[in-house]
């Protein structure tokens, strides 16, 4: 039997407001335990929550960015449960009337685009943290995080593989940073995913029983947790068993998911409207104001890059992973041909990213400016230098060997790196190599392709890499007939 994987994601994006969602306490990360929890956050009797306008504005930004319906009126509800890091005994969240409903996100897997629909996005507060290390059998409670604003973004169960789930999570991650509502820092827990996973016989229309894997805080863990869970569920089914609906945890050390608790249903939480908070009303003028302040969205840029430069969905997605990357690309590609834009895309995703990674730098700190990269890429595309030599030129520009937009030209000139395209000169070198390597020539004629590559390599070496490999191949083929 063939099985189909079905995945729906719940993403918790911590909104990057300075103060908490219902109090004035700071949201800054890393303070000493319990120094940023005020009377409201620790639920002292008689305290009352007050809505943070900035958190609402960020939720509106998100709703507009995904083309969802921003509710003119939404309601806060109490989600009741007991946990030591939840002093109120309930979490303030939204249930029946969330601030955003619907909307879509476009994901790219390989060269295929797919639209994933969102169910909703709602505002809620985070809980505190239980600390188990350093407490020798006891548990410490840090309430600094209590009351931190979260936007929970819920997708429809429309992903069909771990690769799609990761692409979706990355698209949301890119978007919330793009529109500046969340810093996306996964190590600090500002962006975390719960993956709902089920399997069903291929062709079946009904959903299988799902398990929810909680708190995945890296894209790699998300992928591995789903892959494990899918294998596990298929196995359970094929052994004649039934998947039990439950909440599971992923253990990265053992690369497996384990049951955490049986899944509670919504009615277990006894949701009811929070009597301490008025309904949240969003006016038309406010929405219009937020809309006007939105930057050009990644999806719009992707479409622009596709139509202006003929870039593929994959390249366009890579270039719009962040606003900084997209801005760099645009500065480099202004007025460029499709071919130059394509080479630029390759260089930004390849050598430039690698170099930035090594240096631990952001693209805004790149030591090769957008215009410098443009010139370098033009010299590759017009045949002045090979892609390989271009790496050398790139490194030289990175280390500051030459300055200005035309730094690449200066390095090519001063180091004498121009590709040898004079075919007479190349033929002479090819003849020398042939004469000096009778054995390899014989091997090649005897059918060994490897010997031919070695001859090409020797010509390249004799020219210090400055020959056009394609031209060398043609000349040798002709000579060796």
Give residues in contact with ligand ADP (CB under 6 A): 6-10, 154-157, 196-198, 207-208, 210, 212
Of 160 and 410, nearer to ligand ADP (C-beta) is 160
Minimum CB separation from ligand ADP for residue 257, in Å?
A: 14
Task: Give the SS3 label for residue 32.
Answer: coil
Q: Which of 219, 166, 177, 140 is nearest to 15 (CA)?
A: 177
Structure-derived torsion over alpha carbons of residues 309, 314, 320, 324, reported in degrees to the nearest 10:
-90
Number of Cβ within a 10 Å radius of residue 17: 18
DSSP character string of 366-387: -SS-HHHHHHHHHHHHTTSS-H
Strands 129-131 and 140-142: antiparallel
380-405: b or e for each residue (b if 16 or more CB lie within 10 Å)? Answer: bbeebbbeebbbbbbebbbeeebeee
Give the span between the Cα atoms of 368 and 397, in whole angstroms: 6
Q: H or E segment at 304?
A: helix 298-309
CB atoms within 10 A of CB 41: 27
Alpha helix locations (H) across 159-211?
A: 162-178
CB of 3 to ligand ADP, least distance (A): 13
What is the Cα–Cα distance from 378 to 425, expressed in whole angstroms?
24
Query: How many angstroms separate the Cα of 80 from the Cα of each of 89, 99, 141?
Result: 6, 20, 19
Residue corresponding to tokens 């010139």: 375
Give least dist CB 115 to ligand ADP, A. Answer: 15
Question: Looking at beta carbons, which residue is closest to ligand ADP?
Answer: 8
For the bound state, the minimum distance from the C-beta of residue 300 to ligand ADP, rounded and expressed in Å, comes to: 26
In the complex, minimum distance from the CB of residue 196 to ligand ADP, in angstroms, rounded to a whole number:
3
Closest contact distance (angstroms) between CB of 282 and ligand ADP is: 23
Under a CB-based contact definition with an 8 Å cutoff, are residues 208 and 199 in contact? yes
Query: Rounded CA gap, 25 and 36, in Å?
Result: 6
- Residue number with CB closer to ligand ADP (8 or 68): 8
CA–CA distance, 29 with 182 (Å, rounded to integer): 13
Of residues 106 and 155, the one with the C-beta less far from ligand ADP: 155
The token duo for 116 is 């994933």
Q: Residue 212 in contact with residue 248, Cβ under 8 Å?
A: yes
Task: Report, in Å, the least distance between residue 157 CB and ligand ADP.
Answer: 4
Nearer to ligand ADP, 158 or 274 (CB): 158
Indicate the residue among 70 and 153 with the shorter CB distance to ligand ADP. Answer: 153
| Identity of the residue, 5 or 440, whose beta carbon is nearer to ligand ADP in the bound complex | 5
* Least Cβ distance, residue 198 to ligand ADP (angstroms): 3
First CA to last CA across the chain, in angstroms? 54
The residue among 163 and 480 lying less far from ligand ADP, judged by its C-beta, is 163
User: Which residue lies nearer to ligand ADP by CB, 197 or 397?
Assistant: 197
Beta carbon of residue 369, minimum distance to ligand ADP (angstroms, whole number): 43
For the sheet containing 90-93, what is the strand order? 90-93, 77-80, 272-273
8 versus 63: smaller Cβ distance to ligand ADP: 8
Query: 10 Å Cβ neighbour count for 46?
Result: 5
Minimum distance of ligand ADP from residue 13's CB (angstroms): 14
- Closest to ligand ADP by CB, 47 vs 209, is 209
| Contact present, 192 and 216 (Cβ < 8 Å) | yes
249 vs 349, which CB is nearer to ligand ADP?
249
Min separation Cβ 161 and ligand ADP, Å: 13
| Residues linked to residue 106 through DSSP beta bridges, in sequence order | 115
CA-angle at 150, arms to 149 and 152, nearest 5° = 160
**Cβ 6 to ligand ADP, closest distance in Å?**
4
The residue among 197 and 373 lying less far from ligand ADP, judged by its C-beta, is: 197
């Amino acid at each position: 039997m063939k099985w189909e994987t079905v995945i729906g994601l719940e993403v918790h994006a911590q909104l990057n407001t300075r103060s908490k969602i219902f109090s004035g306490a700071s949201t800054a990360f890393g303070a000493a335990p319990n120094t940023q929890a005020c009377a409201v956050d620790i639920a002292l009797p008689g305290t009352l929550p007050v809505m943070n306008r900035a958190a609402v504005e960020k939720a509106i930004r998100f709703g507009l960015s995904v083309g969802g319906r921003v509710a003119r009126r939404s309601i806060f509800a109490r989600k009741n449960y007991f946990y030591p890091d939840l002093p109120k005994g309930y979490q303030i969240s939204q249930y029946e009337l969330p601030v955003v409903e619907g909307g879509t996100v476009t994901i790219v897997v390989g060269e295929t685009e797919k639209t994933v629909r969102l169910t909703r996005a709602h505002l809620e507060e985070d809980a505190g943290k239980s600390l188990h290390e350093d407490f020798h059998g006891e548990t410490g409670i840090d309430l600094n995080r209590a009351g931190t604003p979260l936007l929970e973004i819920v997708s429809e169960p429309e992903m069909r593989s771990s690769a799609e789930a990761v692409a979706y999570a990355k698209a949301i991650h890119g978007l919330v940073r793009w529109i500046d509502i969340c810093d996306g820092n996964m190590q600090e827990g500002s962006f975390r995913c719960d993956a709902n996973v089920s399997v069903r016989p291929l062709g079946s229309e009904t959903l299988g029983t799902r398990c929810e894997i909680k708190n995945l805080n890296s894209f790699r863990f998300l992928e591995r947790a789903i892959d494990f869970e899918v294998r596990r569920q298929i196995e359970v089914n094929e052994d004649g068993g039934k998947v039990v609906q439950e909440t599971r945890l992923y253990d990265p050390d053992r690369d497996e998911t384990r049951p955490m608790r049986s899944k509670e249903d919504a009615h277990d939480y006894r949701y009811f409207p929070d009597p301490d908070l008025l309904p949240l009303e969003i006016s038309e003028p406010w929405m219009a104001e937020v809309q006007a302040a939105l930057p050009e969205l990644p999806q719009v840029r992707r479409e622009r890059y596709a139509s202006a430069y003929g870039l593929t969905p994959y390249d366009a997605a890579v270039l719009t992973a962040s606003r900084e990357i997209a801005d760099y690309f645009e500065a480099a590609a202004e007025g460029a041909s499709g071919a130059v834009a394509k080479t630029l895309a390759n260089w930004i995703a390849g050598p430039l990213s690698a170099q930035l990674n090594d240096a631990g730098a952001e693209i805004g700190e790149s030591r090769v400016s957008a215009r410098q990269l443009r010139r370098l890429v033009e010299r590759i595309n017009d045949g002045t230098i090979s892609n390989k030599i271009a790496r050398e030129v790139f490194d030289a520009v990175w280390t500051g060997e030459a300055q200005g937009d035309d730094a690449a030209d200066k390095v090519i000139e001063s180091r004498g790196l121009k590709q040898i395209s004079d075919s007479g000169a190349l033929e002479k070198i090819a003849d020398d190599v042939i004469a000096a390597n009778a054995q390899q020539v014989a091997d090649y004629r005897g059918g060994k392709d490897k010997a031919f590559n070695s001859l090409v390599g020797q010509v390249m070496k004799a020219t210090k890499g400055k020959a056009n490999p394609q031209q060398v191949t043609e000349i040798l083929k002709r000579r060796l007939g």
